[in-house]
Structure 1
C-alpha cells in the first residue's frame, strides 16, 4: 500500500488573543506545536494528516474548519461531543508584549482513543510526528505509547520534538524520564539547546550529545536559535548555520523547522548521507528564520510562495 501522508498526532489548541490592551475582547487563532507542524507541512506542498480529538461546540468546529482550510486531512481524527478544545488567553501589556494569562482545559480526560484509530492511519503513513505536549496526562501517554509502538512495528519513520513545557509536569524527574522513554523508538529527535541540557543534565552541547549516544537515534537535531542547528547523524556531528535575520517573534520557529524537515522527507525521501541531511537542515533553518521575522505562530508559518520571494 502506498504511503500517502505525513501523520501528526497531538492536541488541538486555541489561542485567545486580546484585540487591544483592555483585554476584554479576544480573537481566536489555531495554536499548539503539533497543529503548527501539521499546517506547516501542508503549506509546503506535502500531504498532511492530523490525529486529534475535538467536540461538537463552536470552538471545535472552528478548529476543524481552520485545519481543513490549511489543507490538513482530518480523516483519522476523532469527535467526542462533550470534548472542549484546550486554549490559552493571551493578554496585551502596555508595551504590546504578550502575556499568557491563563490556560483552559475543561475536559482533560477526553483524549484520543487508540482502539478507534483505523489501521490505515498506520499503513499509509510515511513519517509519523509527535511532541511531549500531552504526555503528562496518563491516558494521553498510554495512547501515544501505543501509537508509537505500532508505528515502530510497521517500520514507519518516527519524528519526536520534545517541545518541553516543564510547568505542566508534576516534577522535572517525571518529565525527563517520560520523554527519554520514547528515545528508543524514534528515528529523528528534535531538541532545543536548553532541552538537551535539561534532559541530559549537562551544560555543553558536546556533553549532551555524548549522553544521548546510548539511544542510537539516527538523527538528533539540536536547534540553537540564531546560531543554527547541530545535526548529529549516526553519531557524526555537523553544525549547520542559518542566515541572519532580524527577529520579530520567534514563536513557532521551531515548528516551522520541523515542518521543513518532514516535508522534505515526504517529497524527496529520507536522507542517505550527512550531506543530504545538511541540505534538509539548511532548509529547516531557513523556514525557522522566515517564521521569526513575522508575528504569531501559525500565521507566520511559511508557504511555498514565501520561499520563492
Structure 2
C-alpha cells in the first residue's frame, strides 16, 4: 500500500550565482541548499514532499518559490516575510576553470522561520521529518528546529538528521559539536560522512568514532565514505555497503541524493528491522548518490526514479 503521508523538510534556500566564464562578471542563478536538494530529490523520486522555509517578496524569492514548485515541492507550510532576502553564493571560475566560492551574501540573517510559524498539521500528516545543521547556528532557527523535533516526536514522526557540517558558519567548533549532540537523542536516522564523524568525536580513527557514536543508541546511522561506500550502523553492528563505481563529473549534492534515497526507502517500507533491510536501504541510497555524481550541479543532478536503470 502506498504511504499517503508526506516527507517534511525544514531549512534554508540559497541561490548559487555561477559565473558564465572566467571573466566572472556575468552569472547564471541556480536554486541551492542541502535541504532544498533533499526536498526536491524526494519529489523527483515520486513522493509527496513538503518544505518549510522563509522567503521574501522580491524577484529572487519568487525565483526560489517558482523553482521549488516546478520540482513538485509543496510550500504550504513555508512563510513569506516581505523584507526577507534569500542568501546568495557567488561562484567564480579560475583561469583553469576550477570553481571557487568568491562571496556569500545574507542581507537578512535574523529573519528566520520562528517556532510559532510551525503548523502542527504539517507534522501530523508526515511520515518523516528531515533537517540538517544549515540553520542551527542561528539562535532563532535553533529554537525553531527544537520545536520542530518536539512536534515530530509528539506525532510519532520519524526524525532524520544530516549533520552536513559547515565549520565556518559556527562561532566555534565546540558550539557546533554541542548543538549536534543535543539533537542525537531524538534522531531515528542519522547521516554523516566519515570526516564529519572524526570532527564530531574529535578522533582520527573512524573505528573509534563509531564506538563513541554508538553511545547515543541511534536506530540507524549511515556513515558515507564517497567511492568507498557506506557504513550502516544498526543494532550494534557495522555493515559495510559498497557503491557501484561510476565516473564522477561533479560530487556536489551526492550526499543529498543519498538522503533522498534513504527517506524514500523508509517512507515506503518503514524503518529497517533486519540486516537485509538495512543493506537494501543503503544500497538504494548509494545508487542515488552515485548517479548524482555523473551530472554537473546539485539540484539539477538530483536523480529521478527511472534513471536508476542506468546503473547496473
TM range (shorter): over 0.9
Structure 1 moving runs of 4+ over 2 Å: 267-270
Structure 2-normalised TM-score? Answer: 0.97
User: Who is 2:221 aligned against?
Assistant: 220
Give yes or no for contact 2:7–2:50 (8 Å, CA) kept in 1: yes
Q: CA offsets per residue over residues 237-277 of structure 1, 9 Å max, x none?
A: 10000011111111100000000000111223322212111
Extract unaligned runs of 5+ from structure 1: none
Rounded to whole Å, the distance in 2 between the matches of 1:249 and 1:96 is 13
User: Who is 1:58 aligned against?
Assistant: 59
1:61-76 → structure 2 map (5 Å cutoff): 61-76=62-77
The reply on whether 1:144 has 2:164 as its aligned counterpart is no
Rounded to whole Å, the distance in 2 between the matches of 1:132 and 1:186 is 13
The reply on whether 1:260 has 2:258 as its aligned counterpart is no
Rounded to whole Å, the distance in 2 between the matches of 1:76 and 1:67 is 13
- Shift, 1:21, TM fit: 1.1
- Shift, 1:3, TM fit: 5.4
User: Who is 1:16 aligned against?
Assistant: 17
User: Who is 2:88 aligned against?
Assistant: 87
Partner-residue secondary structure (3-state), 2:22: coil
- Shift, 1:293, TM fit: 1.4
Rounded to whole Å, the distance in 2 between the matches of 1:211 and 1:153 is 28
User: Who is 2:207 aligned against?
Assistant: 206
Extract unaligned runs of 5+ from structure 2: none
User: Who is 1:120 aligned against?
Assistant: 121
User: Who is 2:295 aligned against?
Assistant: 294
Rounded to whole Å, the distance in 1 between the matches of 2:117 and 2:170 is 27
Give yes or no for contact 1:202–1:208 (8 Å, CA) kept in 2: yes
Rounded to whole Å, the distance in 2 between the matches of 1:198 and 1:3 is 38
Rounded to whole Å, the distance in 1 between the matches of 2:238 and 2:278 is 11
Q: CA offsets per residue over residues 27-68 of structure 1, 9 Å max, x none?
A: 110101000000000001111100000011000000001001
Partner-residue secondary structure (3-state), 2:29: strand
Structure 1-normalised TM-score? Answer: 0.97
- Shift, 1:289, TM fit: 0.7
Rounded to whole Å, the distance in 2 between the matches of 1:291 and 1:38 is 15
- Shift, 1:86, TM fit: 0.8
Give yes or no for contact 1:159–1:188 (8 Å, CA) kept in 2: yes
User: Who is 2:160 aligned against?
Assistant: 159
